[in-house]
Amino acid sequence: MLVDKKLIAAVVALASATVSAKGSFGFDLGVVDNDDNCKDADDYIADLDAISGYTSHVKTYAVSDCNTLQILGPVLEDKGFTITLGVWPTDDNHFDEEISALQSYLPTISKSVISEITVGSEVLYRGDLTADQLASKITQVKSTISSITDKNGDSYSDIPVGTVDSWNCLVDSSAVDAITASDFVFANAFSYWQGQTLANASFSFFDDIMQALQVIQTAKGSTDILFAVGETGWPTQGTSYGDAVPSTANAQTFFEQGVCAMLGWGVDVIYFEAFDEPWKAGGSGTADVEPYYGAFDDTRTLKFPLTCNYTGSS
């Protein structure tokens, strides 16, 4: 559902101290500033400083757009963050630029910054590529990184390469080629976009994610796979979608009852998203929620506490 015009990078977080025994927690991070200009290194430094109490791991959706890998990569390394690095696979010219950016800029950083590489985000959801076409792009990225070494001479060849898509597309049998070509698959699920009541939002979130996980495990023939929630969240302003009402209080409740519970179950969660993105304003109807998914507002002020309290043994 997140139409990526502008390349969104995502920041996954290693958990804060309170959730360290559980799944890892993270944020999606936009790569343009409030005025829709590409972020520079200082913008990323301020972003990472704001979220560093909650995250130490990053994932991106495109490497060439806004020169994201070139600019963000060294900042991540300086700040001790890691990244799930996104490559945008649709449009062959764009994909060529993505491959070139990998070849140019992966050698400028340490391999330890890169946790995994995701080829595409919701490609199947948007119908940009078939699963078979996506599998081919995944294979191409695997092949590309196998001949790239980092600044210390270490090969990128064993970095996992996979994809991220909406849970309902992953459970569709047509997705299987993309799943089997992937070293990992992350699933996105937004109870808001299913028009769920707040009371049912966590149930629905778990239902969606468990369905996706089971299908991925079956396709891979193993329960021992790298899996995470690639995106979830709840908008704090805008038009209601069915029974789902945007508000800060509701976002906090979804965080506490859905996100914290998923982390407590041991599943890594990347929260969509770190910061509000006012440049997305102007969408009609329910698209008016798009600027307001941040856990932090557009001045990097936290909207609600991001603390998960677990009871029982951990």
Q: Which of 112, 147, 174, 307 binds ligand NAG (CB under 6 A)?
A: 307
Residue 248 in the binding site for ligand NAG (CB under 6 A) = no
Residue 310 in the binding site for ligand NAG (CB under 6 A) = no
Stretch near ligand NAG under the rule CB under 6 A, chosen from 64-72, 101-109, 177-185, 301-309: 301-309
Q: Which of 93, 299, 309, 314 binds ligand NAG (CB under 6 A)?
A: 309
The Cα-based distances of 307 to 29, 52, 255, 257, 263 in angstroms read 19, 14, 9, 11, 11
Residue 183, SS3 per DSSP: coil
Exposure on the CB side of residue 169, measured as CA atoms within 13 A: 25
* Cα–Cα distance, 48 to 53 (Å, whole number): 9
Residue 297 in the binding site for ligand NAG (CB under 6 A) = no
Q: Sign of torsion, CA 15 29 197 267?
A: negative
AA letter at 123: V
| Of the candidates 49, 47, 73, 70, the residue with the CA atom closest to the CA atom of residue 59 | 73
> What is the closest distance, in whole angstroms, from the C-beta atom of residue 243 to ligand NAG in the complex?
7
Residue 250 in the binding site for ligand NAG (CB under 6 A) = no
209: its two tokens: 């994610």
Is 256 a known active-site residue?
no
AA letter at 21: A
> What is the closest distance, in whole angstroms, from the C-beta atom of residue 284 to ligand NAG in the complex?
26
> What is the closest distance, in whole angstroms, from the C-beta atom of residue 54 to ligand NAG in the complex?
14
**68/196 with CB nearer ligand NAG:** 196
CB 146 within 8 A of CB 156: yes
Site for ligand NAG in 255-294 (CB under 6 A): 256, 260
* Cα–Cα distance, 163 to 194 (Å, whole number): 22
Residue 240 in the binding site for ligand NAG (CB under 6 A) = no
Q: Sign of torsion, CA 1 163 292 72?
A: negative
- How close are the terminal C-alpha atoms of the chain, in Å? 34
List the catalytic residue out of 116, 231, 273, 277. Answer: 231
Stretch near ligand NAG under the rule CB under 6 A, chosen from 4-12, 89-97, 113-121, 195-203: 195-203
Is 231 a known active-site residue?
yes
> What is the closest distance, in whole angstroms, from the C-beta atom of residue 296 to ligand NAG in the complex?
17
301: its two tokens: 């002020």
11: its two tokens: 């920041």
Q: Are strands 8-11 and 25-30 parallel, antiparallel or unpaired?
A: antiparallel
CB 190 within 8 A of CB 208: no
> What is the closest distance, in whole angstroms, from the C-beta atom of residue 125 to ligand NAG in the complex?
17
Stretch near ligand NAG under the rule CB under 6 A, chosen from 149-157, 177-185, 203-211, 278-286: 203-211
Site for ligand NAG in 87-146 (CB under 6 A): none
Stretch near ligand NAG under the rule CB under 6 A, chosen from 4-12, 51-59, 79-87, 196-204: 196-204
Q: Which residues are catalytic?
A: 122, 231
Residues at the site binding ligand NAG, with contacts judged by CB under 6 A:
197, 200, 203-204, 207, 256, 260, 305, 307, 309
